Amino acid sequence: RKEVEQDPGPFNVPEGATVAFNCTYSNSASQSFFWYRQDCRKEPKLLMSVYSSGNEDGRFTAQLNRASQYISLLIRDSKLSDSATYLCVVNGADGGSQGNLIFGKGTKLSVKP
Amino acid sequence: GAVVSQHPSRVICKSGTSVKIECRSLDFQATTMFWYRQFPKKSLMLMATSNEGSKATYEQGVEKDKFLINHASLTLSTLTVTSAHPEDSSFYICSARDMRGPYNEQFFGPGTRLTVL
């Protein structure tokens, strides 16, 4: 089983749509979880950290289910500028907060007018 | 978020030459920085962990003598690709861990696109 798995997409949605991305991770000892976005030929940019209780930042909502080792990202009212690849990221093998990050392969989102 | 710079942004060099890439944390100190490589349409792959004042930790399959890492200060890590070959052409990205917050988030530099002719 891969350490971090995501649906690669692409997700093609119209402006204004709500879209959800899912991610599963294999290391039950992982403690830190993040969503990054990466635009074509650019570096990843931190979108949000994922808190145990779930968290919301504007149109973006992240949730964590430790029992199922599952992370989600919900984007409401999609904008054209949301088009990017969304990376699910989990801290690394040792499971501690000092661990390296393990990246999923990313889910590509394309928002159309 | 915290700011990480990387220089140069783009390098084109001849096969056999060495290329040095700098990664700087601009508004925070980073005892730990990371070097990644990303090939087209592939995910980021961690190459090594750079630790200030000590030797870098390399991931399996990454040659430490080919990819020299130096982390001489709390704000600067360098990656030198020695005797570069065309197969080393890739997008090299550094990140630095910001320990000021509770989640030790990593922030990325803008990347260096290396093309070896």
Q: 10-residue block means of pLDDT along chain A (113 residues)? A: 85 97 91 92 92 90 94 97 95 56 90 96
Question: Across chain B, what does the average pLDDT equal?
Answer: 92
pLDDT at residue A52, rounded to an integer: 83
Between B114 and A51, the more confident residue is: B114
Share of chain B above pLDDT 90, in %: 69
Tens digits of per-residue pLDDT, B31-41?
889 999 999 88
- Non-local CB neighbours of A53 within 8 Å, separated by 6+ positions: none
Nearest to A44 among B42, B49, B108 (CB): B108
Residue A47, class by beta-carbon neighbours within 10 Å (0-12 exposed, 13-18 middle, 19+ buried)? buried
Nearest-Cα distance to chain B for A15, in Å, is 25
Q: Does the distance separating the beta carbons of B103 and A49 come in below 8 Å?
A: yes
Nearest-CA residue of chain B relative to A47? B1
pLDDT at residue A97, rounded to an integer: 42
pLDDT at residue A1, rounded to an integer: 61
**Which residues of B have a CB under 8 Å from any CB of A?**
1, 32, 34, 42-44, 46, 49, 91, 93, 95, 103-111, 113
pLDDT at residue A99, rounded to an integer: 58
pLDDT at residue A67, rounded to an integer: 92
Residue from A57, A91, A89 nearest A74 by CA: A57
Nearest to B44 among A41, A97, A103 (CB): A103
Rounded-to-integer distance, Cα A12 and Cα A83, Å = 9
- Band (pLDDT 50/70/90 cuts) for residue B72 is confident
Residue A31, class by beta-carbon neighbours within 10 Å (0-12 exposed, 13-18 middle, 19+ buried)? middle
User: How are beta strands A11-14 and A107-112 bridged, if at all?
Assistant: parallel
Cα A99 → chain centroid = 18
pLDDT at residue A9, rounded to an integer: 87
Nearest to B104 among A42, A97, A106 (CB): A97
pLDDT at residue B98, rounded to an integer: 83
- Non-local CB neighbours of A12 within 8 Å, separated by 6+ positions: A110, A112
Map residue B44 onto helix, strand or coil.
coil
pLDDT at residue A30, rounded to an integer: 85
pLDDT at residue A27, rounded to an integer: 87
Amino acid at B77: S
Residue from A40, A102, A110 nearest A75 by CA: A110
Look at residue B16 and tell me whether its pLDDT is greater than 70: yes
Rounded-to-integer distance, Cα B17 and Cα B105, Å = 34
Residue A34 contacts residue A48 (beta carbons within 8 Å): yes
Rounded-to-integer distance, Cα A11 and Cα A83, Å = 9
- Non-local CB neighbours of B25 within 8 Å, separated by 6+ positions: B2, B3, B4, B33, B74, B75, B96, B98, B107
**What is the DSSP-derived secondary structure letter of residue A99?**
S
Nearest to A49 among B95, B105, B110 (CB): B105
pLDDT at residue B102, rounded to an integer: 72
Q: Give the H/E segment covering residue A72.
A: strand A70-75
Q: Does the distance separating the beta carbons of B49 and A97 come in below 8 Å?
A: no
Nearest-Cα distance to chain B for A33, in Å, is 9
